[in-house]
């Protein structure tokens, strides 16, 4: 299954991870009830590793990222778990920090940076690209305006922006979608973060621009030995970029594995369904696609037991609808939350 | 293939939007959204219009519906095989209304294409009411029930409002509305893009099923090449207002003849299922899609083309048939199409690279 040639690290366990998320739960509280956006999710990201988090709308993948940066919207709260950021081998629990305190602000943008789906939303319209990038650099690196400007120009050049000396003074609306996405990546990279979180980095751009952005992220990750966390609904993007994958469904990490073994042998019925539900380019008209029945339920209509059981073609009567599935290790670093794989051992 | 088998025939269609400036709304330029597009849609087929944003695919679809007025060109529509063609582009509003019932449209975003203040019964039933084809409320309900059944929605929900439905169910409602007057042509503009991955397959399967059941012809506007390969008979690839390649999907995907098509196919990320590395080198095009307000001279693709030569910078290539006369036509607009060896994606026929 291609597991033999996995490197000892990532996830080999010798070196401490860069970021370790343990049993994270983030809930939202509103008049309609409690929404368990993230409900007991655990994963590690090592230095230089790329982790992909995939799932459909409402699965909690974006809230996971917001929790790490402590930017959860006001009606949400991290109610449990740990987010350990290792600095020189010393863990800092981000959950314990004050969300607007000095310490998290020194981490945001410096140690952990983020790029967003819609690059227009990541920039302010009334300042130039340069203004915004220089501000970040000055804040985190404490250098002069002129030095910061030089660093900004260098970073813009690094992401392949044509004529960076001129584009630095351009306003975001004056750039095309692809260029804006590059400027956004440049701003995120300007302080050499150890972890870059990319939330749907290519969803809003065209196919040929998507190819450019994917190649760029791959190259930068290699050059800067930076860890990457890619959040997307497009499994193909993860297959192109990531070493590990975590599939989420309604706040739970239903399957987590090295990318190669997950795509070669998906285990959870939801993962299997997701992979079958989109046609793949190059397989012709004869390929079989199969829809997952039903649709993602509303946020307050989560099923008991395994949340996926109402849509699952392989559900086990009298088990899946009542009991939470356990997390089972089905291969090297390959974990699944599903009763199907737990039964033989019971 | 004779002309009378074509349901729609578009000839030299152009749509130029004026760029105005200043207090007097002086015209200072033209956005050439579509600039001389010709193609035919055969009865019963699914024809895909593909391309990146700004290539004019949506504008083409809307011009055919006369939702926007074309600048010039003809849109010939034949209600029945062998019937005399009607040029939609010259009809008056009143004449057009009579023809428009033969066409339906499905939009990308089912959250904005359904009026939140109308019930499903009102939304799906509206075409019957505006055209006064039903006599009573009872008959209207009967018709709407049948339509909802055909898109696999429970008719007992017809008095609910759109907010009560999920994205996939809303798209089903939009499809039911498009089919209300029993059209022969359905223009579907990115009907899957706004839906969750697991729901896309449901809508795709439904569209295929309805095509068989009601003998529909689809004009499928999309940027998703995997969906095109899976569900469309023929494909027209557009770049900055022009068709650059047109022919059978299998032929074009297996062996593209235009460098832009090759690059598009190569750019699509794929899931690697066999645990080995990527087999093909990706072609990454430099730069952005050209600005339709300022189209480069010669071949519009030349600033990004890896095979560019001097000729391309000055002379615009014509769309020419390069296929063997025994095969189905394969139109390409490239000066060097017959000299280039381009790679497609490995389909069932293995027509591409080893």
The ipTM is 0.83
Whether chain B has a CB inside 8 Å of the CB on A150: the answer is: no
Query: Which of A6, A208, A239 is the best residue to mutate to test the B interface, defined by the most B CB atoms within 10 Å of its own CB?
Result: A208
Contact B347 A292 (CB under 8 A): no
Q: What is the pLDDT of residues A86-134, one digit of tens each?
A: 998 899 999 999 998 999 999 998 999 999 877 677 788 889 999 999 9
Residue B30: how many other CB atoms lie within 10 Å: 18
> Which residues of chain B does A290 touch, with a Cβ-Cβ cutoff of 8 Å?
201
Per-residue pLDDT of chain B (354 residues), as tens digits, is 456 689 999 999 999 999 888 888 888 888 999 999 999 999 999 999 999 888 999 999 999 999 999 999 999 999 888 888 999 999 999 999 989 899 999 998 898 999 999 999 999 999 999 988 888 899 999 999 999 999 999 999 999 999 989 889 999 999 999 999 999 999 999 999 888 888 899 999 999 999 999 999 999 999 999 999 999 999 999 999 999 999 999 999 999 999 999 999 999 988 887 655 555 578 888 888 888 888 999 999 999 999 999 999 999 999 999 988 888 999 999 999 999 999 888 643 333 333
Handedness of CA A250, A105, A141, A134 (dihedral sign): positive
Q: Rounded to whole angstroms, how far apart are CA atoms A68 and A250?
A: 18
Secondary structure in 3-state letters for B65-94: HCCCCCCEEEEEECCCCCCCCEEHHHCCHH
Q: Under the phi-then-psi rule, with left for phi > 0, alpha for psi from -120 to 50, and beta for the rest, what region is A256?
A: beta
pLDDT given for residue B352 in this prediction: 37
Confirm if A82 and A22 have CB atoms less than 8 A apart: yes
Q: Hey, are the CB atoms on A291 and B202 less than 8 Å from each other?
A: yes
* Closest residue in B to A203 (Cα–Cα): B193
Q: Do B282 and A281 touch (CB under 8 A)?
A: no
Q: Does A277 reach chain B within 8 Å, measured CB to CB?
A: yes
B265/chain A closest Cα distance in angstroms: 8
- Residues 57..86 of A with a Cβ closer than 8 Å to B: which? 57
On whether any CB of chain B is under 8 Å from the CB of A288, the answer is no
Q: In what order do the strands lie in the sheet with A195-199?
A: A112-115, A195-199, A227-232, A50-54, A244-249, A252-258, A334-337, A327-331
Q: For residue B205, which residues of chain A lie inside 8 Å, CB to CB? A: 289, 291
Best of B55, B202, B225, B269 to disrupt the A interface (most A CBs within 10 Å) is: B269
Quickly count: other Cβ atoms within 10 Å of residue B281's Cβ: 9
- Tell me the two tokens of residue A31: 């008049």
**pLDDT tens string A269-299:** 999 999 999 888 888 888 888 889 888 887 7
Take residue B214 and report the two structure tokens written for it. Answer: 């009601």
Structure tokens at B38: 């010709």
Q: Is the pLDDT of residue A6 over 50?
A: no
Cα A228 to Cα A15, A221, B71: the distances in Å are: 17, 7, 49
Comparing A243-247, A340-344, B217-221, which segment has the lowest mean pLDDT?
Answer: A340-344
pLDDT in tens, B175-210: 999 999 999 999 999 999 888 888 899 999 999 999
The count of other CB atoms within 10 Å of the CB of residue A346 is 6
Q: In angstroms, rounded to a whole number, what is the distance separating the alpha carbons of residues B96 and A117? A: 41
With contact defined as beta carbons under 8 Å apart, do A116 and A66 qualify? no
Nearest CA in chain A to B282: A211
Are residues B200 and A280, on separate chains, in Cβ contact within 8 Å?
no
What is the per-residue pLDDT for B347?
Answer: 46
Q: What is the mean pLDDT of residues A15-29?
A: 93
Q: B246: how many CB neighbours lie within 10 A of its CB?
A: 25
Mean pLDDT of chain A: 88
Residue A10 preceded by cis peptide, ω within 30: yes
Which three-class secondary structure state does DSSP give residue A196? strand
Give yes or no for a contact between B292 and B241, defined as CB atoms under 8 angstroms apart: yes
Using CA coordinates, name the residue in chain B closest to A287: B230
Contact B268 A236 (CB under 8 A): yes
Tokens of B148: 């909802």
Whether B168 contacts A295, CB under 8 Å: yes
Find the CB nearest B271 among A215, A273, A280: A280
Q: Is the pLDDT of residue A152 over 50?
A: yes
Of B198, B231, B268, the CB nearest to A292: B198
Q: How far is CA A285 from CA A319, B203, B225, in A?
A: 38, 17, 12
Residue B350: its pLDDT value, please?
39
Which distant-in-sequence residues (6+ apart) come within 8 Å of B325 by Cβ?
A: none
What DSSP element (H or E) covers A129? helix A129-141
**Residue B40 phi, psi dihedral angles, 5° rounding:** -120, 145
Q: B183 Cβ partners below 8 Å, 6+ apart? A: B101, B102, B103, B104, B216
- Which residue among B227, B273, B284 places its CB closest to the CB of A211? B284
CA dihedral B242, B29, B187, B330 (to 10 degrees): 0
Q: Is the pTM of the predicted complex or chain greater than 0.80?
A: yes
A35 SS3 class: strand
Which pLDDT value is given to residue A9? 46
Alpha carbon distance A51, A244 (integer Å): 5
CA of B50 to nearest chain A CA: how many angstroms apart? 11
B215 CA to chain A: closest CA distance, Å?
19
What's the confidence (pLDDT) of residue A11? 45
- How much helix, strand and coil, in percent to the nearest 5, is found in chain B? 30, 20, 45
- A287 CB neighbours in chain B (<8 A) are 230
Give per-residue pLDDT as tens, B108-119: 889 899 999 999
State both tokens at A197.
Answer: 């979180």
- Here the tokens at position B89 are 């582009």
CB < 8 Å to B165, chain A: none
Q: Does residue B128 sit in helix, strand or coil?
A: helix
**Cβ separation of B196 and A278 shorter than 8 Å?**
no
Helix (H), strand (E) at residue B18: strand B6-21
User: From A299, which residue of chain B is nearest by alpha-carbon distance?
Assistant: B166
CA distance A223 to A192: 11
Facing residue for B196 by CB, picked from A237, A287, A296: A296
What whole-number distance in Å separates Cα of residue B251 and Cα of residue B335?
A: 19
Beta strands, E only, chain A: 19-30, 33-45, 50-54, 76-87, 90-93, 112-115, 195-199, 227-232, 244-249, 252-258, 327-331, 334-337
**Closest CA relative to residue B147, chosen from B111, B184, B174, B168:** B174
Three-state DSSP class for residue B327: coil
Considering only the beta carbons, identify the residue of A273, A281, A287 that sits closest to B345: A281
pLDDT of A45 strictly over 60: yes
**How many angstroms away from the CA of A205 is the closest CA of chain B?**
9
Residue A176's alpha-carbon distances to A10, B82, B291, in angstroms, are 36, 47, 10
Of B166, B197, B284, nearest to A215 by CB-CB distance is: B284
* Contact between B198 and A274 using a beta-carbon 8 Å cutoff: yes
B contact test, residue of A284, A292, A311, A313 with most B CBs within 10 A: A284
């Amino acid at each position: 299954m291609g597991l033999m040639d996995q490197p000892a690290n990532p996830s080999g366990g010798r070196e401490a991870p860069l970021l370790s998320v343990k049993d994270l739960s983030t809930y939202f509280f509103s008049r309609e009830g409690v929404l368990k956006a993230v409900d007991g999710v655990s994963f590690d990201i090592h230095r230089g590793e790329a982790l992909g988090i995939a799932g459909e709308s409402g699965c909690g993948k974006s809230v996971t990222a917001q929790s790490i940066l402590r930017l959860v919207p006001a009606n949400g709260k991290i109610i449990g778990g740990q987010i350990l950021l290792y600095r020189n081998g010393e863990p800092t629990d981000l959950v314990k920090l004050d969300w607007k305190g000095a310490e998290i602000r020194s981490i945001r943008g410096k140690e952990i940076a983020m790029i967003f789906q819609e690059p227009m939303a990541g920039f302010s319209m009334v300042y130039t690209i340069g203004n915004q990038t220089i501000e970040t650099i000055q804040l985190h690196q404490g250098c002069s305006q002129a030095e910061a400007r030089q660093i900004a120009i260098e970073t813009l050049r690094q992401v392949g922006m044509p004529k960076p000396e001129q584009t630095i003074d351009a306003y975001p609306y004056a750039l095309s979608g692809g260029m804006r996405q590059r400027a956004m990546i440049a701003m995120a990279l300007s302080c050499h973060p150890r972890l870059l979180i990319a939330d749907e980095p290519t969803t809003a751009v065209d196919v040929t621009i998507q190819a450019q952005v994917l190649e760029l992220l791959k190259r930068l990750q290699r050059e800067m030995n930076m860890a990457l966390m890619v959040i997307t609904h497009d499994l193909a993007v993860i297959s192109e970029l990531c070493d590990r994958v975590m599939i989420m469904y309604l706040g739970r990490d239903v399957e987590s594995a090295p990318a190669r073994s997950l795509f070669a042998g998906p285990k959870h019925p939801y993962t299997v369904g997701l992979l079958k539900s989109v046609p793949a380019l190059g397989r012709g008209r004869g390929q079989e696609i199969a829809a997952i029945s039903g649709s993602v339920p509303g946020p307050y209509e989560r099923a008991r037991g395994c949340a996926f059981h109402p849509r699952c073609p392989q559900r086990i009567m009298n088990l899946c609808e009542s009991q939470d599935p356990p997390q089972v290790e089905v291969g090297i670093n390959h974990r699944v939350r599903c009763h199907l794989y737990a039964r033989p051992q019971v | 293939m004779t002309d009378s088998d074509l349901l729609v025939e578009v000839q030299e269609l152009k749509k130029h939007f004026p760029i105005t400036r200043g207090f007097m709304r002086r015209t200072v330029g033209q956005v050439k959204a579509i600039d001389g597009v010709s193609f035919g849609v055969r009865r019963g087929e699914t024809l895909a219009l593909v391309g990146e944003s700004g290539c004019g695919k949506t504008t083409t679809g809307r011009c055919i519906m006369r939702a926007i007025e074309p600048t010039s060109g003809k849109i010939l529509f034949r209600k029945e095989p062998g019937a005399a063609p009607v040029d939609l582009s010259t009809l008056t509003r009143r004449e057009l209304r009579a023809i428009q019932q033969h066409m339906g449209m499905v939009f990308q975003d089912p959250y904005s294409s359904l009026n939140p203040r109308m019930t499903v019964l009102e939304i799906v039933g509206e075409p019957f009411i505006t055209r006064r084809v039903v006599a009573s409320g009872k008959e209207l309900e009967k018709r709407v029930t049948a339509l909802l059944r055909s898109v696999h929605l429970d008719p007992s929900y017809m008095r609910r409002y759109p907010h009560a439905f999920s994205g996939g169910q809303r798209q089903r409602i939009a499809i039911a509305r498009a089919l209300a007057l029993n059209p022969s042509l359905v223009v579907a503009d990115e009907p899957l893009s706004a839906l969750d991955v697991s729901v896309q397959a449901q809508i795709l399967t439904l569209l295929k099923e309805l095509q068989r059941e009601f003998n529909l012809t689809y004009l499928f506007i999309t940027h998703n090449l995997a969906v095109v390969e899976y569900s469309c008979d023929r494909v027209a690839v557009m770049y900055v207002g022009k068709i650059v390649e047109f022919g059978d999907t299998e032929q074009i995907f297996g062996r593209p003849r235009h460098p832009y098509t090759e690059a598009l196919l190569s750019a699509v990320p794929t899931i690697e299922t066999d645990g080995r590395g990527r087999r093909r080198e990706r072609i990454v095009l430099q730069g952005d899609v050209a600005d339709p307000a300022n189209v480069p001279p010669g071949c519009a693709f030349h600033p990004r083309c890896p095979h560019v030569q001097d000729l391309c910078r000055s002379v615009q290539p014509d769309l020419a048939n390069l296929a063997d006369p025994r095969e189905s036509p394969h139109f390409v607009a490239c000066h060097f199409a017959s000299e280039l060896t381009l790679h497609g994606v490995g389909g069932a026929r293995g027509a591409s690279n080893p």
